[in-house]
Amino acid sequence: MREVNSVTEIFGSMVFNEHVMKERLPAETYAALKRTIEQGRSLDRGIADVVANAMKDWAIEKGATHFTHWFQPMTGVTAEKHDSFLCPQKDGTAIMRFSGKELIRGEPDASSFPSGGLRATFEARGYTAWDATSFAFIKDGTLCIPTAFCSYGGEALDKKTPLLRSMELLNRQALRILRLFGDTQTAKVNTTVGPEQEYFLVDRELYEQRRDLIYCGRTLFGAKPPKGQELDDHYFGNLKPRVAQFMHDLDQELWRLGIFAKTEHNEVAPAQHELAPIFTTTNIATDHNQLTMELMQKVAARHGLVCLLHEKPFAGVNGSGKHNNWSISTDRGVNLLEPGDSPRENAQFLLFLAAVIKGVDEYQDLLRISVASAGNDHRLGANEAPPAIVSMFVGDDLDEVLRAIETGADCGPHDKVEMRIGVHTLPHFTRDNTDRNRTSPFAFTGNKFEFRMVGSAQSIADCNTVLNTIVAEELSGFADQLEEADDFEAALNDLVRRTIAAHRRIIFNGNNYAREWVEEARERGLLNLKTTADALPHLVSEKNIALFAKNRIFTEAELRSRYEVLLEGYCKTLHIEALTMLEMARKDILPAVLRYTQALADTALKKKQLCPALSCGVEEELAGRLSTLAGCLYDGAAGLEARLLAAKECGDSRAQADHYKETVFPSMQGLRAVADELEGLVAKEFWPYPTYGELLFSV
Instruction: Name which of Mg ion, ligand ADP, none residue 194 binds, using a CB cut-off of 5 to 8 Å depending on partner kind.
Output: ligand ADP
* Contact status: 327 vs ligand ADP (CB under 6 A): yes
**CB nearer ligand ADP, residue 54 or residue 276:** 276
Nearest to 453 by CA among 439, 472, 433: 439
Phi/psi class of residue 666: alpha, beta or left (left: φ > 0; alpha: ψ in -120 to 50)?
Answer: alpha
DSSP tag of 321: B
Q: Which residues pair with 444 in a beta bridge?
A: 449
Q: Within 13 Å of residue 566, how many CA atoms lie on the same side as its CB?
A: 25
Interface segment toward ligand ADP; rule CB under 6 A; list 177-185, 325-333, 382-390, 403-411? 325-333
**CB nearer ligand ADP, residue 29 or residue 320:** 320
* Contact status: 161 vs ligand ADP (CB under 6 A): no
**CB nearer ligand ADP, residue 444 or residue 596:** 444
82, with CB counted inside 10 A (0-12, 13-18, 19+), is: middle
Question: Segment 335-394, which members bind ligand ADP (CB under 6 A)?
Answer: 335
Residue 588 to residue 47: CA distance in whole angstroms: 61
| Residues 6 or more apart in contact with residue 507 via CB below 8 angstroms | 357, 391, 392, 393, 394, 399, 402
Instruction: Name which of ligand ADP, Mg ion, none residue 327 binds, using a CB cut-off of 5 to 8 Å depending on partner kind.
Output: ligand ADP
SS3 577: helix
**CB nearer ligand ADP, residue 439 or residue 445:** 445
Q: What distances in angstroms separate CA 177 from CA 150, 265, 352, 361, 472, one per listed residue? A: 32, 40, 9, 21, 10
Instruction: Name which of Mg ion, ligand ADP, none residue 448 binds, using a CB cut-off of 5 to 8 Å depending on partner kind.
Output: ligand ADP
532-561 b/e (C-beta count within 10 Å ≥ 16 → b):
bbbbbbbbbeeebbebbeebebbbeebbbb
Nearest distance in Å: CB 633, Mg ion: 42
Interface segment toward ligand ADP; rule CB under 6 A; list 218-226, 276-284, 350-358, 476-484? 276-284
* Contact status: 278 vs ligand ADP (CB under 6 A): yes
Number of residues that bind ligand ADP (CB under 6 A): 15
| Residues 6 or more apart in contact with residue 179 via CB below 8 angstroms | none
Annotate each residue in 443-472 with x if it binds ligand ADP (CB under 6 A) or - if it does not, as one string: --x-xx------------------------
Q: Which residue is closest to ligand ADP by CB?
A: 194
Nearest distance in Å: CB 242, ligand ADP: 25
* Contact status: 309 vs ligand ADP (CB under 6 A): no
**CB nearer ligand ADP, residue 196 or residue 400:** 196
Number of residues that bind Mg ion (CB under 5 A): 1
283-293 b/e (C-beta count within 10 Å ≥ 16 → b):
bbbbbbbbbbb
Nearest distance in Å: CB 450, ligand ADP: 7
* Contact status: 276 vs ligand ADP (CB under 6 A): yes
* Contact status: 251 vs ligand ADP (CB under 6 A): no
**CB nearer ligand ADP, residue 274 or residue 361:** 274
Residue 670 to residue 578: CA distance in whole angstroms: 12
Give backbone dihedrals phi and psi of 194, rounded to 5 degrees, phi first. Answer: -130, 105
SS3 531: coil
359, with CB counted inside 10 A (0-12, 13-18, 19+), is: buried
With CB under 6 A as the contact rule, the residue among 29, 78, 325, 469 that binds ligand ADP is 325
**CB nearer ligand ADP, residue 207 or residue 326:** 326
Question: Segment 193-222, which members bind ligand ADP (CB under 6 A)?
Answer: 193-194, 196
SS3 150: strand
Q: What distances in angstroms separate CA 584 from CA 310, 375, 526, 658, one per listed residue? A: 20, 20, 41, 25
**CB nearer Mg ion, residue 173 or residue 440:** 440
Nearest distance in Å: CB 639, ligand ADP: 45
Question: Segment 272-331, which members bind Mg ion (CB under 5 A)?
Answer: 323
The one-letter code for the residue type at 90 is: K
* Contact status: 279 vs ligand ADP (CB under 6 A): yes
Nearest distance in Å: CB 381, Mg ion: 20
Cβ neighbours, 10 Å, residue 321: 28
Q: What is the DSSP annotation of 589-631?
A: IHHHHHHHHHHHHHHHHHHHHH-TTS--HHHHHHHHHHHHHHH
* Contact status: 84 vs ligand ADP (CB under 6 A): no
Question: Segment 175-194, which members bind ligand ADP (CB under 6 A)?
Answer: 192-194
Site residues for ligand ADP per CB under 6 A: 192-194, 196, 276-279, 325-327, 335, 445, 447-448
Site residues for Mg ion per CB under 5 A: 323
